[in-house]
Amino acid sequence: MSKDTTDPRNWQLATRLVRGGTARSENGETSEAIFMTSGFCYDSAEAAEARFKNELPGFVYSRYENPTVAMFEQRMALLEGAEAARGTASGMAAINAALTCQLRAGDEIVSSRAVFGSIAYIINELLPRFGVKSTMVDGTDLAQWEAAITPRTRVVFLESPANPTLEIVDIAAVARLAHRHGARLIIDNVFATPVLQRPLELGADIVVYSATKHIDGQGRSLGGVVLGSKAFIEDELAPFLKHTGPALSPFNAWVLLKGLETLELRVARHVENAARLADAIAGHPGLAAPADGKPALLYPGRADHPQHALAMRQMAGGSNMVAFRPKGGKAGAFRVLNALNIIDISNNLGDAKSLVTHPATTTHQRLTPDERARLGIGDDLLRLSVGLEDARDLIADLSQALEKA
Ligand SMILES: *Cc1c(COP(=O)(O)O)cnc(C)c1O
């Protein structure tokens, strides 16, 4: 029997990305419409009453739901293989909502230490104000996870590959430890992208994205998304979003919908470029000596990444992120940044344009030197998000800059 092509869950990834969630208006537009409206009208007073009581389907107010945003959410849910999804104004709004909607005083959260800076603020500073106890562990050490997760742990949080050191955490193993105590595992899957890593299939319960990154992919808009079971999204997350208001704008949802159409193609080229660049630069005389048993250039797709085998087990490619240490410490790293002609100095990532940043003085400058050292963020570390330019130009640009380290 041939497949039922009316059910989008039977479609392959590329088809889901181009067509998933599309809901055409009576005009039959080819491209998804942008519904720039804050509110919606009702045919009668009775209809308004029924919609507010959830007895009639339909939109009520764009802080709750909007047709363009709903298309983005459905396409994301199909892509991720999740039962449901909700869009938010930024990645941080998604992460804050995913945590805050389910944590209460007396609960505990366990997180890997290597998380995005603003996430560390929420976990270490904000949540404890409301009586949530937080513990951070070295994400690569399963014994630390095992010791930290207790029956009081409600949420376990991690990012893999981690920013900016590209450490890999064993998602399936941490999911088993979390579930043993009835805790839920949330994965920040930004660095891997939904194309390369499928956390729900590895045992995670909830996945969050900054859609600002590869999902837009062209540096145009902020956005975020939370994905999980229908029960979690509708009963726990949706009321929190509805009443606290970090809503995704319909225009930005449309930009993200258009981004999704080309996501698989772009990620494939991102990964191809990153792999070529990493191979061309590894061993460059402008790189520092190996330290702590790690090479001066780290790329999860290369065999010399300390966790290469684990990375290849849970990811379908090495990502587009490369971390490397030029020789000459911070001054050497700055000389390399300032010598680049094509690659831009910027803290964003997942963009069509290649972007490089010095985490110790930008994204991670809030941390103390000790905390940075513990995370492996030296003063010489650079983090490169490889874009969609011709790899030969990127290799030439970085090679000439490394000569000036
Ligand atoms: C950028 C980023 C975020 C935050 O997303 P915004 O859209 O900037 O709010 C969270 N996690 C990771 C891993 C990121 O790279």
Q: What is the DSSP string of 289-314?
A: PPBTTB-SEE-TTSTTSTTHHHHHHH
Return the best residue to mutate from 113, 119, 157, 212 for the ligand 1 pocket (most ligand atoms within 8 A of CB).
212
- Strands of the 206-210 sheet, one edge to the other: 84-88, 224-228, 206-210, 184-188, 153-159, 108-112, 133-137
pLDDT of residue 292: 86
58 found inside a domain? yes
Q: How far apart are CA 159 and CA 110, in angstroms?
A: 12
Model confidence at 332: pLDDT above 90: yes
In this structure, the answer to whether residues 361 and 279 fall within a common structural domain is yes
pLDDT of residue 293: 86
Whether 257 contacts 75, CB under 8 Å: yes
The answer to whether the predicted template modeling score (pTM) of the entire model surpasses 0.85 is: yes
| Residue 224: CATH number of its domain | 3.40.640.10
Q: Which domain-ending residue is among 207, 242, 261?
A: 261
- Index of the ligand 1 atom closest to the CA of residue 190: 13
* Region 140-158 average pLDDT: 98
* Region 205-234 average pLDDT: 98
269 found inside a domain? yes
Whether 402 contacts 343, CB under 8 Å: no
Q: State the distance from the centre of ligand 1 to the C-alpha of 117, rounded, in angstroms.
A: 9
214 found inside a domain? yes
Model confidence at 1: pLDDT above 70: no
Domain that holds residue 326: 263-402
For ligand 1, atom 6: residue with the closest CA:
91
In this structure, the answer to whether residues 334 and 309 fall within a common structural domain is yes
Q: How many domains does the chain have?
A: 2
pLDDT of residue 95: 98
Q: State the distance from the centre of ligand 1 to the C-alpha of 359, rounded, in angstroms.
A: 14
Which residues contact residue 215 at a Cβ distance below 8 angstroms, ignoring those fewer than 6 apart? 76, 193, 194, 209, 223, 225, 256, 259, 260, 263, 350
Q: State the distance from the centre of ligand 1 to the C-alpha of 137, rounded, in angstroms.
A: 20
pLDDT bin (cut points 50, 70, 90) of residue 309 is: very high
Q: State the distance from the centre of ligand 1 to the C-alpha of 164, rounded, in angstroms.
A: 12
Q: How far apart are CA 348 and CA 368, in angstroms?
A: 22
Which residues contact residue 294 at a Cβ distance below 8 angstroms, ignoring those fewer than 6 apart? 306, 376
172 found inside a domain? yes
Q: Give me the residue label for tokens 């003063």.
A: 379
In this structure, the answer to whether residues 297 and 384 fall within a common structural domain is yes
Q: Which of 200, 139, 134 is nearest to 174 (CA)?
A: 139
Q: Which of 377, 398, 394, 388 is nearest to 163 (CA)?
A: 377
Who lines ligand 1 at CB under 6 A?
Answer: 90-92, 116, 159, 163, 188, 190-191, 210, 212-213, 222, 224, 349
364 found inside a domain? yes
Each residue's pLDDT tens digit, 17-55: 999 999 999 999 999 999 999 999 999 999 999 999 989
In this structure, the answer to whether residues 98 and 203 fall within a common structural domain is yes
Q: Which domain-ending residue is among 208, 227, 261?
A: 261
In this structure, the answer to whether residues 230 and 83 fall within a common structural domain is yes
3 found inside a domain? no
1 found inside a domain? no
- Index of the ligand 1 atom closest to the CA of residue 223: 7
pLDDT of residue 366: 86
In this structure, the answer to whether residues 73 and 181 fall within a common structural domain is yes
316 burial type by CB count under 10 A (0-12 exposed, 13-18 middle, 19+ buried): middle
**Cα–Cα separations (whole angstroms), residue 174 to 178, 226, 247, 344, 366:** 6, 20, 31, 36, 28
| Residue 394: CATH number of its domain | 3.90.1150.10
Q: State the distance from the centre of ligand 1 to the C-alpha of 116, rounded, in angstroms.
A: 7
In this structure, the answer to whether residues 64 and 128 fall within a common structural domain is yes
Q: State the distance from the centre of ligand 1 to the C-alpha of 92, rounded, in angstroms.
A: 6
Q: Which of 199, 165, 164 is nearest to 349 (CA)?
A: 164
278 found inside a domain? yes
Torsion angle of C-alpha atoms 30, 21, 213, 122, degrees rounded to 10: 150
Q: State the distance from the centre of ligand 1 to the C-alpha of 52, rounded, in angstroms.
A: 34
**CA angle in degrees (0–180, nearest 5) for 102-104-107:** 100
b vs e for 58-70, b when ≥16 Cβ sit within 10 Å of the residue's Cβ?
ebeebebbbbbbb
- Index of the ligand 1 atom closest to the CA of residue 224: 7
In this structure, the answer to whether residues 233 and 283 fall within a common structural domain is no
**Cα–Cα separations (whole angstroms), residue 331 to 297, 338, 378, 401:** 18, 10, 12, 13
pLDDT bin (cut points 50, 70, 90) of residue 358 is: very high
Q: Higher pLDDT residue, 367 or 189?
A: 189
In this structure, the answer to whether residues 63 and 167 fall within a common structural domain is yes
In this structure, the answer to whether residues 281 and 340 fall within a common structural domain is yes
- Index of the ligand 1 atom closest to the CA of residue 211: 7
Q: Which domain-ending residue is among 261, 287, 309?
A: 261
For ligand 1, atom 2: residue with the closest CA:
210
In this structure, the answer to whether residues 122 and 172 fall within a common structural domain is yes
In this structure, the answer to whether residues 271 and 130 fall within a common structural domain is no
